[in-house]
Homo-oligomer: A and B are copies of this chain.
């Protein structure tokens, strides 16, 4: 068997690693207050039983399986139950709820682990000849429903796991470019680069469990994107295996050679073929890499400060500001003896806040990062500090920043912790012009609370701004609520409300999580019906029989899209209209309702 490691089949991250709250005295009170969930009395459901998971028989014939093992070797093709289950889903809340409920809609029939691009070309050509479906699989961290086969898929489905293709192949140190295989996980490639003094500078929340190929497939963005750019900027060249041949985009810093095929592949979620490797920008590991913490009196001033920083001569690498509720959550998840909790729960900082006339129910925590030479980092901080001061912000040093750096990849574990205890936690993010961010924020918060009311649950939604650009930024929302008997039904109502609020307030359906099945219903509102028609034209023309991850982003021809929670038919309509995609035109009721989704009973303690 292959030695490619995967996350828990039923949850985020590594076996044996879990979120704990005993050392975080603020956590249980926060959850009790916000979700009406008493962590001290609830009995966690724990890991579900794999024996109870049922998986349909693989559709792959022995002959077909053999044709694949002739290519990659017998140990790299499998229809093993665990392998098929691990590759059935990503790690969205929807995925976790379904897998805990033994509701696997359609597992891949085979999991194949290629080692070379040449093998992938052969696999693709054999799969096309057999009219099979191929879904590329990286770290499995996707939360948009991009990895699951359509429930109604009658053809053989191959999950093409890229995990063996994890090498940094080449570094062009003159150009600051590295050629890296698509299956390399964040730590894989960063370690290989660091060994030679380089960094890719791309650190998404999923970093530890996501791959370069996955980043490219979903247009990922990392925490230091203010400096290093999004993966769409970082990726200069790439190779995409398609039936009969490979698209080769050479690493060119900028080119005028027609519509960008590179930018068609970026975000394509496997629908155009298999990305095997990419030339990405790399940078010398900087002498300085610091994250400082600040407080603002409220979110509005925090947003304004971030905007002014983005317009200024300062060039920080991270700009992030939490709203008050996320600030409280951050304090609640800090260990008693560490960082800001110590500050804020002490006497000094609250006294200072009070002396400034700040309301503790409005204060906002911010992190700003600086990188480069010692001198450059210092200067940037000086420029930023001046702007922070103008907006009545206040620096509290590097301590909390170090803490932020250490736990930035751990948040997803909390979701499993909550799910074990009958509560849902998930995320939605959007981007919009600076002029619309406050409205986008307030709109999503209001929409979530209206939805909580609708499902009769107490819930919380927290948010931060991150990833600043000249004209706007990303707002990242995390929400949680104690669900009722129909976890997915409740979830759909909340998630739909938040997504719809993005559209209504001028935001994109996603800033860096992709479309998949999950966000597809709003794609038409985002890029217009005629925009969908253009995209659909591309997919239908390049993949006429829908062999490459069909149904994701927009509908594939002739396939029923009806997986749990996807009302994709509506959004994938290709009929162009002359309607302007204004917010007024899109104020219709949420498209995704509980009624359109399959019901799932969740194995959770009451």
State whether the Cβ of A482 lies closer than 8 Å to any Cβ in chain B. no
* CB neighbours of A529 from chain B (8 A): 245
Task: State the interface size on chain A (CB cutoff 8 A).
Answer: 101
Asked whether, in the complex, the Cβ of B471 is within 8 Å of the Cβ of A509, the reply is no
Contacts A260-B266, A537-B538, A576-B245 given; indicate if A250 touches B506 (C-beta within 8 A).
yes
The 0/1 profile, CB within 8 Å of B marked 1, for residues 407-434 of chain A is: 0000000000000000000000001111
Instruction: Give the distance in Å from the alpha carbon of A259 to the alpha carbon of B121 in the complex.
Output: 22
State whether the Cβ of A553 lies closer than 8 Å to any Cβ in chain B. yes
State whether the Cβ of A580 lies closer than 8 Å to any Cβ in chain B. yes
State whether the Cβ of A315 lies closer than 8 Å to any Cβ in chain B. yes
Contacts A250-B581, A266-B260, A527-B248 given; indicate if A175 touches B433 (C-beta within 8 A).
yes
Question: Which A196-246 residues have C-beta < 8 A from chain B?
Answer: 218-221, 230, 232, 236, 240, 242-246
Contacts A259-B267, A435-B174 given; indicate if A248 touches B580 (C-beta within 8 A).
yes
Instruction: Give the distance in Å from the alpha carbon of A248 to the alpha carbon of B577 in the complex.
Output: 11
* CB neighbours of A534 from chain B (8 A): 242, 247, 261, 264, 272, 538, 542
Nearest-Cβ distance from residue A425 to partner chain B, whole angstroms:
21
Asked whether, in the complex, the Cβ of A514 is within 8 Å of the Cβ of B256, the reply is yes
Asked whether, in the complex, the Cβ of A176 is within 8 Å of the Cβ of B372, the reply is no
Question: Which A152-186 residues have C-beta < 8 A from chain B?
Answer: 172, 174-177
Question: Which A250-303 residues have C-beta < 8 A from chain B?
Answer: 250-261, 263-269, 272, 281, 283-284
Nearest-Cβ distance from residue A369 to partner chain B, whole angstroms:
15
The 0/1 profile, CB within 8 Å of B marked 1, for residues 426-464 of chain A is: 000001111110000000000000000000000000000
State whether the Cβ of A578 lies closer than 8 Å to any Cβ in chain B. yes
Nearest-Cβ distance from residue A184 to partner chain B, whole angstroms:
19
State whether the Cβ of A131 lies closer than 8 Å to any Cβ in chain B. no
Asked whether, in the complex, the Cβ of A258 is within 8 Å of the Cβ of B581, the reply is no
Q: Which residue of B lies closest to A432 (CB)?
A: B252
Asked whether, in the complex, the Cβ of B253 is within 8 Å of the Cβ of A473, the reply is yes
Instruction: Give the distance in Å from the alpha carbon of A537 to the alpha carbon of B540 in the complex.
Output: 9
Question: Which A135-152 residues have C-beta < 8 A from chain B?
Answer: none
| Copies of the polypeptide in the assembly | 2
The 0/1 profile, CB within 8 Å of B marked 1, for residues 512-540 of chain A is: 11110001000100111111011101101
Q: Which residue of B lies closest to A536 (CB)?
A: B541
Asked whether, in the complex, the Cβ of A121 is within 8 Å of the Cβ of B578, the reply is yes
Q: Which residue of B lies closest to A243 (CB)?
A: B576
State whether the Cβ of A478 lies closer than 8 Å to any Cβ in chain B. no
State whether the Cβ of A570 lies closer than 8 Å to any Cβ in chain B. no
Instruction: Give the distance in Å from the alpha carbon of A519 to the alpha carbon of B436 in the complex.
Output: 41
Asked whether, in the complex, the Cβ of A433 is within 8 Å of the Cβ of B253, the reply is yes
Asked whether, in the complex, the Cβ of A510 is within 8 Å of the Cβ of B542, the reply is no
* CB neighbours of A272 from chain B (8 A): 259, 534
* CB neighbours of A375 from chain B (8 A): 313
Q: Which of B240, B265, B431, B537 contacts A542 (CB 8 A)?
A: B537
Instruction: Give the distance in Å from the alpha carbon of A392 to the alpha carbon of B544 in the complex.
Output: 59
Asked whether, in the complex, the Cβ of A313 is within 8 Å of the Cβ of B267, the reply is no
State whether the Cβ of A569 lies closer than 8 Å to any Cβ in chain B. no
* CB neighbours of A474 from chain B (8 A): 253-254
Best-buried of A243, A313, A581 by chain B (most CB within 10 Å): A313
Best-buried of A376, A469, A473, A579 by chain B (most CB within 10 Å): A469
Asked whether, in the complex, the Cβ of B526 is within 8 Å of the Cβ of A236, the reply is no
State whether the Cβ of A507 lies closer than 8 Å to any Cβ in chain B. yes
Asked whether, in the complex, the Cβ of A515 is within 8 Å of the Cβ of B431, the reply is no
Nearest-Cβ distance from residue A380 to partner chain B, whole angstroms:
9
Asked whether, in the complex, the Cβ of B471 is within 8 Å of the Cβ of A259, the reply is no
State whether the Cβ of A320 lies closer than 8 Å to any Cβ in chain B. no
Asked whether, in the complex, the Cβ of B508 is within 8 Å of the Cβ of A256, the reply is yes
Asked whether, in the complex, the Cβ of A469 is within 8 Å of the Cβ of B248, the reply is no
Instruction: Give the distance in Å from the alpha carbon of A528 to the alpha carbon of B249 in the complex.
Output: 7
Q: Which residue of B lies closest to A552 (CB)?
A: B258
Asked whether, in the complex, the Cβ of B526 is within 8 Å of the Cβ of A255, the reply is yes
Asked whether, in the complex, the Cβ of A553 is within 8 Å of the Cβ of B258, the reply is yes
Asked whether, in the complex, the Cβ of A242 is within 8 Å of the Cβ of B174, the reply is no
Instruction: Give the distance in Å from the alpha carbon of A218 to the alpha carbon of B523 in the complex.
Output: 27
Q: List 17 A-B contacts (CB under 8 A).
A: A230-B254, A244-B577, A244-B578, A245-B576, A247-B527, A250-B508, A252-B431, A253-B433, A253-B469, A254-B467, A256-B267, A258-B268, A258-B514, A258-B515, A259-B265, A260-B263, A538-B541
Enumerate chain A interface residues (CB-CB to B < 8 A).
121, 172, 174-177, 218-221, 230, 232, 236, 240, 242-261, 263-269, 272, 281, 283-284, 307, 311, 313, 315, 372-373, 375-376, 379, 431-436, 467, 469-474, 506-515, 519, 523, 526-531, 533-535, 537-538, 540-542, 553-554, 576-581
